[in-house]
Structure 1
């Protein structure tokens, strides 16, 4: 074989190799190929466990959590009035670490209580991350230890961000500083009315968490940890659990205002 033909074959081999490499997915693309798994089947609440203050885990008090027209719903139509501090949460039965969760939510109807002390709970819900299981909550515990991705709806007039952070029995590290405030606002837009809003959270096994609203990054922090000054945080630590929390269950709230969820999905980032 002459040198000219060898040169042509060698050049063709280089072109084919480069083309093949360019068509190989990056690590980021490969992680995106992990399937999205439905956490809600659209028919019933299989895979979830409710817990209301004053009641043992597993009791769906007044049928508050239910499926209506294929939507995961928090309804107060069986309540005559709001019983003081009877907040509810419904937990995934499975624990997770290093994942991405997404769901759509919309606030509907009227708040069950008009008491001024619950004005903060108007169009207020949350996606609680890295919680212990429902059974771990004390009978009269109002909120599970968690990193709450707070979901808020507008009142039609004022600005009110969503995708915020709140800290039941926890603290976070943000921009290298320990944050002990109970709630820290995001930089999201305000969403008035009953419109559907897409919430996503990227929850890394190293503790790094990002909140997204309708695809836009609105809040980010680098670490969640138990609050040793909080009774439930102290209980957690006294039992020998680590300060830094990198895994746990996911829960949704019943916090006095009706709300609906759909397309509740999780994707492993392992």
Structure 2
């Protein structure tokens, strides 16, 4: 199991340890430069994009702010997207699932995702999202890496993985063999091998909290390296990531989800 310990002394130092090994992230973060991507009141700094409604047109109110939280209903596929591009940062989010789901995933696992390093045209991927590198949020699979690319090496990740795949997907393993992919996913290290795309799915070793409870999901983009941390545990890592900067998108994918914290801290690598 991979753990992350946070010490705060004006400057934040992150150190990740894998049992039996030293797997260290050495990063300095300046608290004074923290960027609140969500102000608790509205979606300033973001725009909406929906598959059937386009940019900044949300007739079904898929994206709203309620009681200091962003509610994404999931009723139509799309995303909210930052106006600005970012690189070299520590993104911290807090999310919880709602109860509602919609066709075509009415009885499937609740699904969402944070798309990092998003560049190019809105809707370039499937008419819905920008090409990007995804930190998956899905019941049983939160922390998977998905390359939402154009099929070229312009969008790719390199990961260390286990010898055995889960279906067609590699599985992250810190001391595994190195592979580079420009499509598909790298599953988080303890994803249940019997995972099913079923509503309320929970794996035996899941780190994500049950539906209705808050989770902390962090994405560290340090140069061309990505580290995903769920509820304090490093669940996935990639290096030689392309691209290594871009906008941030949060998806709507037929499941109700809430975010109450989205903040970003610039990094200075040691």
TM-score normalised by L of structure 1: 0.69
Give the unaligned 5+ runs of structure 2: 1-8, 15-25, 150-154, 161-177, 191-204
Q: Structure 1 residue aligned with 2:111, among 121, 124, 129?
A: 124
Corresponding position of 2:36: 38
More strand by share: 2
Q: State the superposition RMSD in angstroms.
A: 2.7
Change (3 A) 1:109 1:247: same
Matched, 1:185 2:203: no
Q: 1:204 to 1:120 in 2, by over 3 A?
A: farther
Deviation, 1:110, is 2.1
Structure with larger Rg? 1
Q: Which has the higher helix share?
A: 1
Distance in 1, Cα, partners of 2:12 & 2:256: 42
Deviation at 1:108, TM superposition (A): 0.7
Question: Which residue does 1:150 correspond to in 2?
Answer: 136
Report the 3-state secondary structure (helix = DSSP H, G, I; strand = E; otherwise coil) of the residue aligned with 1:246: coil
Alpha carbons of structure 1 residues 65 and 121: separation in structure 2 relative to 1, 3 Å: farther
Matches within 5 A, 1:154-169: 160-169=140-149
Q: Deviations over 1:121-173 (max 9, x none)?
A: 6311101100026x5434961332111000123xxxxxx23211112113311
- Residue segments in structure 1 that go unaligned for 5+ positions in a row: 1-22, 77-81, 154-159, 226-244
How much does 1:27 deviate? Answer: 8.5
Distance 2:59 2:180 in 1: 37
> Would you say how many aligned residue pairs link Structure 1 and Structure 2?
209
- SS of residue matched to 1:137: coil
Secondary structure of residue in 1 paired with 2:60 = helix
